[in-house]
Structure 1
Amino acid sequence: MFSWIFPIWSQPTATTPSTKILQDPLKHRTVECLRDLVQLGGGGTWPPTATYDDSWPMSLQTYNSVFRAVEAYLPVENSSLDDACNRKIIDAFRGRMRSELARFVELQKVELALKQWESERDTSAQSAWLGFFACISFLRHAYRWGVTPIVCEAQNETSVAFPPELNIPWAALQEHFGFTSPSGCMTSICYSNMAKDDHLQYSVTVGMPELHSSTEYWNTKLVYDMEAKILPVYHLFAQAIAFMDSENPDAARDALKSANDILRTALKHFFSTMVDANISRTVWMAYVQGFQGWTLEGVDGISGGQSLIFRTLDSFLSITPFPTPEKERLHIPEAQRNWLNSLRDYGIRAVAKERGYDQITEELESLVKQLRLWRMGHMRRMQPYESVHRPERKTMTAGISVVGASNENEMIEHLKKELGRRLAQTV
C-alpha cells in the first residue's frame, strides 16, 4: 500500500560488502542468517540504511514533528543540583511532549497505519521501519529523563507512565523487530540514527555549543563506522564455516587469515578515533552516556555489550558464557540474534580441533588474541570517560544502571571488575 513512497536509494550498489553478502551463492545456514541480517535487519545494507519521516505513512510522520517541537527543550548547559527544581524541569518537559503528542498524533490513524505497514516487507519498507524505530526511541528516552544531563531526581524513579502515543508504536516496533525492552538500543539509537549524508537524524544537543554536537556525532559515527569496517569479517566468518562443511579447509584458512587482517585494521581505527579531540570525555558523560541509559523496572539502557561486532566475535570464537535468550532478546533484534546463534551452534574452534585443522586453529587463536588485546586497551581507555564527576547525578553507566558506588573511583573499580571478568573469559 505504501510502496510508492519509499525511496530507492537504500538499495546497495554492486560493489558494496552488503551486496556481496546478498549475492553470495554459498548454501549454508550461517550464510543465510547473515543474508537475513542485511536484508531483514538492515533494510538491504549493514549497518542499516534507515530512512526517515518522508518514507513513513503520513499519520506516522507526525512523530518526527513532535521530536522537532521538543528537541531544543531537553538539554541544559548548567545542571541544577536541587531536586525540587529538577522535578519541575522534568515535569514541564514531559507536559510539553504530551501536549505536542496530543496536538500532532491521531492514535486511531496511527494504529491503522502500523497494521497496514506491517504487511510491507521489502527492503525499502524495512529501512523506513528502522528510521521510525530511531524516532520513537529518542522520544521515549527524552520523555524518560526529562532533561539532559540526567539528574538524580529522574534516576530515583523506578517506573514512568508513558503516554499511549509512545506505547502503541513501541509495541508494534517490538513485534516487528523481535525484542522486548521498553528502552531504545544500539540498533535504534546508534545504527539507525546515521543519515545517508553523514549527519545524525536525531540529536539531544540542539542549541548546545559545537563541542557537544561533535561529541554526540563522533560517538555514533564511531559505532556505525566500526560495523561498516567489520562487515567483511562477518562475511568471511560465514564463508569459513561453509568451507569447513564442504571439506575445503584451505579456503576456510584463507578466509580467516583475511578476517584477521581486516579486524586488526578496524580495531586500530577504534582507538585512533576514540580520543578527546573527537569525543570529549566531559561532554560524553553528560550528554551521551546519560541519555542512553534507562534504569526503570530493572531494565538497563544501551551498553557497548550490545555491539554486534563483539557479540559476533564472542559467538564465532565460542567465548562463553553466552547471555540467556531472555536477556539477549531484551535489546538485540531477532535478525541479529539468529546470526549470532548460527555462529554459536556451529562452534568452529571445536570443529577445527576435532578435525586436526591446525592452520585454521592458528588463525582462530590469532582472532582471540586480537580480541583480548582490544579488551585490555578498552579497559584502560574507558576509565577517564567513566570517571568524570557529575554532581547532579548518581554514578551510573548506560548499560549497568545506577551503580552502588559513593564516588567515581568506586565506580571505576566496579567497571574494571566487570570488564576484567570478560577479559578472563576471552580464551
Structure 2
Amino acid sequence: MLSWLFPTWSQPAQIPSASTDILAEPLHHPALTCLRDLVVVGGGGAWPPRATYRDSWPLPLRAYDTAFRAMEPSFPVKESSTDNSHNRKLIDSFRSRMRAQLDQHVNMGDVLSALERAESDSESCSQGAWLGYWLCISFLRHSYRWGVTPIVSEAQNEVSLDFPHQLDVPWSYIQRHFGVTSPGGCMTSLMYSNLRADDHLEYSVTVGMPEDHHSTEYWNTKLIVSMEERALPMYHLFARAIAFVDAGDMTAAADTLKSANDVLKLALKFFFTTMVDATLAQSIWLAYVQGYQGWTLGGIDGISGGQSLTFRTLDSFLGIRPFPEPEKESLHLPTVQRDWLNFLRKYDIRAAVKAHGEDGTAVAAELEALVKQLRLWRMGHMRRMQPYESVHRPERMTMTSGISVVNASDENEMIKHLKRQLGQRLAQTV
C-alpha cells in the first residue's frame, strides 16, 4: 500500500522559487494575503526563511556569535559517561566557561541599545538578521541548558535553571518580535534558520566529531527545510483553491487541488527516501541530533516534528481535529505561521465545498485524496521512526525532544508510548 512512497528519487537541479510565484500572484483573497505575510513578514521575502548571519547584525549583537564559536567545539563529547558526578563537572565547567565568554565579549548596554533600535526601526535590523540572531541565541541557550551532548540524565533531572542575563534579556525581545513564548528554541529558530543559502549549516553541535556525525546533523536540518521548499507550492495551491471556491469556480478549485495532490506526493517521496540510515544514521541521530533540541525545564518541551509547518498546514486546511490549543501552539510557532494556520482552520474548506452540493463533488474527491496521502504518511512514519527512537542510550533517561522525559522503563516502553500518540493522530486523520 505504501509502495508509491518509496521509488528511487533524484534531486532536481533546481527547485523553482515558489516564494516568487506567491508574491507575483494576481488573484486577491485573504487566504493569499495570509500566505504573502508568511513569506514577506515571516521569512523576510522567502519561505522557508533564509536567515542572515553575523555580518548583517547590529554590531553589538555580533558578540554572541563570537561567544558561541568559542564554545561550539567543547559542547559534544565522543563518549558519554553514565557517572553522574563526572557529568555534573562537565556541565558546570561548560556553563562556567560560557558565562566567562559572555562576560568578556557582550556589552549589555550596547546590546540593549541595539535591540531597542531594532525593535522600533526595521531598517536597523532586517527580518533575515532577526532570524539569524534568534538562531544564535537559541543555540547558546540550548547548549547552556544541557552543558554537554549527548545529553545526560544529570541535566535531565534539573527542574529549574538560571540563565546568564546576557541570554535572558535578548530573549524577551526575540519573543516579542516573533510572537513566541517558549524559553527554548523551536523548529524555526534551530532548523529553518540554520541552513545557509550555500547549503551548509551555520552552527553545529558536532564540531570535532567524525564525518558521519556531521552528515547526520546536516541531513536532519536539510530534510526539514527541503520539505518546506517542496510544500510551499502546495500552500499556494491551497490558497488559490480557497479563492476559487469563494468565487464559485469549482472546476478551477478541483484542478488546483489535483495539482496540490501531485505536489504533496513528491514531497512525501522526498521525506521517506531521505529518512534512511545512509543519510540519518540511527546510531547517531538520537544522541547527537535529537537530544539537545529538547528542553524539559518548567514543563516546556523542545522541538517536535509536529511543529513542522508542512503537516500543520495539511491538518489545518483539511480540518483535521483536534486543533492545537492556542497557548501551546504559541510556544513554538511565530505569529505569522499561526495566522496562516488559523485562517485555514476558520475557513474550513471541506464545509465550504459541502455547501456547494453536487457542484463540489470533484473538489471533495481531491480533498479526500489529500487526506488519504496524509494517512499513508502517518502510517509510514510510525514505522520509520521506531529504530531511531529505540536506540539504547544509557547516559540519559528516555526522552523525545518534543515530549520531554517519558515515564518509560526502557526503550521498548518508550516506543509503545510514541506509537500510542501517533496512532491517536492517525485515527483522527479522517
Contact 2:219-2:280 at 8 Å conserved across structures: yes
Contact 2:57-2:125 at 8 Å conserved across structures: no
Q: Tell me the amino acid that sits aligned with residue 101 of structure 2.
A: E
Alignment length (residue pairs): 414
Partner of 1:389: 392
Alpha-carbon offset, residue 250 of structure 1: 1.1
Contact 2:42-2:49 at 8 Å conserved across structures: yes
Contact 1:43-1:123 at 8 Å conserved across structures: no
Partner of 2:105: 104
| Per-residue Cα deviation, 1:227-258 (whole angstroms, up to 9, x for no partner) | 00110000000010011111111111111000
Q: Tell me the amino acid that sits aligned with residue 281 of structure 1.
A: Q
Residue 195 (1) aligns with residue 175 (2): no
Partner of 2:287: 286
- Given the superposition, is the C-alpha separation of residues 229 and 247 from structure 1 closer, same or farther in structure 2, using an over 3 Å criterion? same
Alpha-carbon offset, residue 114 of structure 1: 0.5
Residue 48 (1) aligns with residue 46 (2): no
Partner of 1:64: 65
Contact 1:302-1:398 at 8 Å conserved across structures: yes
Contact 2:58-2:125 at 8 Å conserved across structures: no
Contact 2:73-2:207 at 8 Å conserved across structures: yes
Alpha-carbon offset, residue 22 of structure 1: 1.3
Residue 413 (1) aligns with residue 407 (2): no
How far apart in 2 are the matches of 1:354 and 1:166? 52
How far apart in 2 are the matches of 1:35 and 1:119? 23
For 1:172-251, what aligned pairs fall within 5 Å after superposition? 172-251=173-252
For 1:297-376, what aligned pairs fall within 5 Å after superposition? 297-356=298-357, 357-376=360-379
Contact 1:21-1:35 at 8 Å conserved across structures: yes
Contact 1:140-1:183 at 8 Å conserved across structures: yes
Contact 2:181-2:331 at 8 Å conserved across structures: yes
Q: Tell me the amino acid that sits aligned with residue 195 of structure 2.
A: M
For 1:126-165, what aligned pairs fall within 5 Å after superposition? 126-165=127-166
Alpha-carbon offset, residue 163 of structure 1: 0.5
How far apart in 2 are the matches of 1:120 and 1:312? 31
How far apart in 1 are the matches of 2:377 and 2:120? 42
Alpha-carbon offset, residue 16 of structure 1: 1.8
| Per-residue Cα deviation, 1:280-335 (whole angstroms, up to 9, x for no partner) | 01110000110100000000000000000000000000000001110100000000
Alpha-carbon offset, residue 175 of structure 1: 0.2
Name which of structure 1's ranges 110-119 and 390-399 shifts more when overlaid on structure 2.
110-119
Q: Tell me the amino acid that sits aligned with residue 130 of structure 1.
A: L
Partner of 1:93: 94
Q: Tell me the amino acid that sits aligned with residue 40 of structure 1.
A: V
CA RMSD between the two structures:
1.2
For 1:4-19, what aligned pairs fall within 5 Å after superposition? 16-19=17-20
Q: Which runs of 4+ in 1 moved over 4 A?
A: none
Q: Percent identity?
A: 65
How far apart in 2 are the matches of 1:381 and 1:122? 45
- Given the superposition, is the C-alpha separation of residues 310 and 122 from structure 1 closer, same or farther in structure 2, using an over 3 Å criterion? farther
| Per-residue Cα deviation, 1:1-52 (whole angstroms, up to 9, x for no partner) | xxxxxxxxxxxxxx62101111212221111110000001101000001100
Partner of 1:8: none
How far apart in 2 are the matches of 1:368 and 1:315? 11
How far apart in 2 are the matches of 1:360 and 1:326? 33
Q: Tell me the amino acid that sits aligned with residue 101 of structure 1.
A: L
Q: Tell me the amino acid that sits aligned with residue 53 of structure 2.
A: Y
Contact 1:44-1:123 at 8 Å conserved across structures: no
Partner of 2:405: 402
Q: Tell me the amino acid that sits aligned with residue 412 of structure 1.
A: I
- Given the superposition, is the C-alpha separation of residues 354 and 122 from structure 1 closer, same or farther in structure 2, using an over 3 Å criterion? farther
Partner of 2:126: 125
How far apart in 1 are the matches of 2:418 and 2:254? 36
Unaligned runs of 5+ in 2: 1-15
Unaligned runs of 5+ in 1: 1-14
Contact 1:39-1:123 at 8 Å conserved across structures: no
How far apart in 2 are the matches of 1:282 and 1:299? 27
Partner of 2:5: none
Partner of 1:252: 253
Q: Tell me the amino acid that sits aligned with residue 312 of structure 2.
A: R
Q: Tell me the amino acid that sits aligned with residue 358 of structure 1.
A: T
How far apart in 2 are the matches of 1:322 and 1:47? 23
Alpha-carbon offset, residue 119 of structure 1: 2.9
Alpha-carbon offset, residue 122 of structure 1: 6.2
Partner of 1:113: 114
